């Protein structure tokens, strides 16, 4: 087995450049499938490090391959996309950029989920793997994935990923989150929830705001749907089960005295059990259609699927192996066992599932440890964060540069080293 310290040789010298890279990426986020600048930086740095590079995989994805025919193949993945969020961190390198979303709207753009940190850490790991080539054996496939927020992994798979690149023995990935810097958290089995998103268009009959009796108001219809959906989890999901139903977008109308013809909603469902997933999805559709009927809608609502991620499942044996590697670089007691799956979702598992190979996904901390007097994995799963600790997707979210970058690189190489052991070519 590779000693983790062998793969980490030279990390201190890399850190100043990695910090500069992180600040640049954070200041220049790009929306899903629009990561052209980010992909260009990734490809340029990988080539300079000595990797064989393929660009435009699944749109804007970049894949680097380094190694030899003998030994195991390890896939390491980072996601690259930002979010349509207006940054409010106050950082000197905060994003002020805007972009155009899929609906043609100009929106603010921010790295509100830490994907800039993921790219930085993986590029730090690839630099050390290339510089310390005599310390490991096998092949590494470094995947810089577009559009994690909207099924970018599947886009890479649909672009022939399995046929174009070495088949991995294990797929590894990490996600920075609001836990103390220095800690990591994972578990065997389900580690992230399934996610289903869809758009709903409700149809009414517009008219003058002074004469609502001559209309069918889609805004009232939409409000009834939103409120009724709050009962799905509280009244149709058992106390020992888990699900989340969120209406994240509701748009209708243009003026205060005009009742519009339509209302548009976007709904997201999270679940950690297939049976619960089916029941919740059926309940959401039932409520949407029933409220339209109760309101006298002139037309059935349109329900359009947007994105769907299955459960993120960690292979038990591979998780034990990766956990040992994480502990070797983060220290004893710094790798938590999650008591259950997190309600957030990931599309990373699509790589392992599509190729029939084991996957391991873990979370690593990017928040100030002093803000966590009672840190625990239960708090992470339950959402009981201390005051002042923003969650991913918040306008205030940004992981600490230090020590998060260093620890993220260490975590990737500590886990990967469990498969890349042996040393020498």
DSSP assignments along 52-99, one per residue = EEEEEETTTEEEEEEE-SSS-EEEEEEE---BS----S--TT----EE
How much is the pLDDT for 378? 61
| Composition of the chain by helix, strand, coil, percent to 5 | 35, 25, 35
What secondary structure letter does DSSP report for 240?
A: T
Domain 4-193+311-416: CATH superfamily is Zn peptidases (3.40.630.10)
pLDDT band, very low/low/confident/very high, at 242 (cuts 50, 70, 90): confident
Using the predicted structure, report yes or no on whether residue 380 has a pLDDT greater than 80: no
Q: In the structure encoding, which two tokens stand for residue 254, read together?
A: 């243009």
How much is the pLDDT for 1? 41
Burial group, residue 399, by CB count within 10 angstroms (0-12, 13-18, 19+): buried
CA dihedral defined by 275, 279, 281, 282, rounded to 10 degrees?
140
Provide mean pLDDT across the span 40-69.
97
Residue 243 near residue 255 (C-beta atoms within 8 A): no
CB contact set of 108 (below 8 Å; sequence gap of 6+): 84, 85, 86, 87, 95, 97, 98
Domains 4-193+311-416 and 194-309 share a fold: no
- d(C-alpha 327, C-alpha 413), whole Å: 12
DSSP assignments along 98-149, one per residue = EEE-TTS-EEE-B--SSHHHHHHHHHHHHHHHHHTGGG--SEEEEEEES-GG
Report pLDDT digits (tens) over 165-176: 999 999 999 999
Domain extents in the chain: 4-193+311-416, 194-309
Provide mean pLDDT across the span 363-386.
75
Residue 178 near residue 185 (C-beta atoms within 8 A): no
How much is the pLDDT for 2? 44
- d(C-alpha 238, C-alpha 276), whole Å: 9
pLDDT band, very low/low/confident/very high, at 377 (cuts 50, 70, 90): low
Provide mean pLDDT across the span 111-133.
97
Neighbour count for residue 337 (Cβ, 10 Å): 11
How much is the pLDDT for 423? 43
CA dihedral defined by 280, 286, 290, 293, rounded to 10 degrees?
140
Residue 80 near residue 119 (C-beta atoms within 8 A): yes
How much is the pLDDT for 372? 82
Could you tell me whether strands 106-108 and 98-100 are parallel, antiparallel, or unpaired per DSSP bridges? antiparallel
Report pLDDT digits (tens) over 61-118: 999 999 988 899 999 999 999 999 999 999 999 999 999 998 899 999 999 999 999 9
Provide mean pLDDT across the span 26-34.
97
Provide mean pLDDT across the span 12-20.
97
How much is the pLDDT for 309? 84
The strand pairing partners of 363, in sequence order, are 175, 185
CA dihedral defined by 323, 325, 326, 332, rounded to 10 degrees?
90
Provide mean pLDDT across the span 306-333.
93
Alpha helix (H) ranges present in 170-217?
A: none
What fold does the segment set 194-309 form as a domain? Alpha-Beta Plaits (3.30.70)
pLDDT band, very low/low/confident/very high, at 189 (cuts 50, 70, 90): very high
How much is the pLDDT for 139? 97
């Amino acid at each position: 087995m590779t000693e983790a310290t062998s793969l980490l040789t030279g990390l201190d010298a890399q850190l100043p450049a990695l910090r500069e890279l992180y600040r640049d990426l954070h200041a220049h986020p790009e929306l899903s499938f629009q990561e052209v600048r980010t992909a260009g930086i990734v490809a340029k740095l990988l080539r300079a490090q000595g990797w064989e590079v393929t660009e435009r995989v699944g749109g804007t994805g970049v894949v680097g391959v380094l190694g030899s025919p003998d030994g195991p193949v390890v896939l390491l993945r980072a996601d690259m996309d930002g979010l349509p969020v207006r940054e409010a961190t106050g950082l000197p390198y905060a994003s002020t950029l805007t972009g155009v979303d899929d609906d043609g709207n100009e929106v603010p753009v921010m790295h509100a989920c830490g994907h800039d940190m993921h790219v930085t850490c993986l590029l730090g790991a690839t630099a050390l793997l290339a510089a310390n080539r005599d310390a490991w054996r096998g092949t590494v496939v470094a995947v810089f994935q577009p559009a994690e927020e909207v099924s970018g992994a599947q886009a890479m798979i649909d672009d022939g990923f399995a046929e174009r690149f070495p088949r991995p023995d294990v797929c590894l990935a990490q996600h920075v989150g609001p836990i103390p810097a220095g800690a990591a958290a994972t578990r065997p089995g389900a580690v992230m929830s399934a996610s289903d998103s869809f758009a709903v268009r409700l149809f009414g009959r517009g008219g003058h705001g002074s004469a609502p009796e001559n209309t069918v108001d889609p805004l009232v219809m939409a409000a009834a749907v939103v409120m009724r959906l709050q009962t799905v989890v509280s009244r149709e999901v058992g106390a020992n089960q888990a699900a989340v139903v969120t209406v994240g977008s509701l748009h209708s109308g243009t003026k205060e005295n005009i009742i519009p013809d339509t209302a548009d909603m976007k709904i997201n469902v999270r679940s950690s059990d297939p049976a619960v997933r089916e029941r919740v999805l059926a309940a959401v559709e039932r409520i949407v259609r029933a409220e339209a009927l109760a309101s006298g809608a002139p037309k059935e609502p349109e329900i359009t699927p947007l994105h769907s991620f299955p459960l993120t499942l960690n292979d038990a044996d591979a998780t034990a192996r990766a956990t040992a590697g994480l502990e070797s670089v983060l220290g004893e007691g710094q790798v938590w066992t999650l008591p259950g799956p997190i309600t957030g979702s990931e599309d990373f598992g699509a790589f392992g599932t599509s190729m029939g190979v084991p996957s391991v996904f873990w979370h690593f901390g990017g928040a100030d440890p002093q803000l966590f007097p009672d840190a625990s994995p239960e708090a992470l799963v339950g959402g009981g964060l201390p005051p002042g600790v923003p969650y991913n997707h918040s306008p205030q979210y940004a992981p600490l540069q230090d020590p998060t970058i260093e620890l993220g690189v260490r975590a990737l190489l500590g886990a990967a080293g469990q498969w890349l052991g042996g040393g020498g070519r």
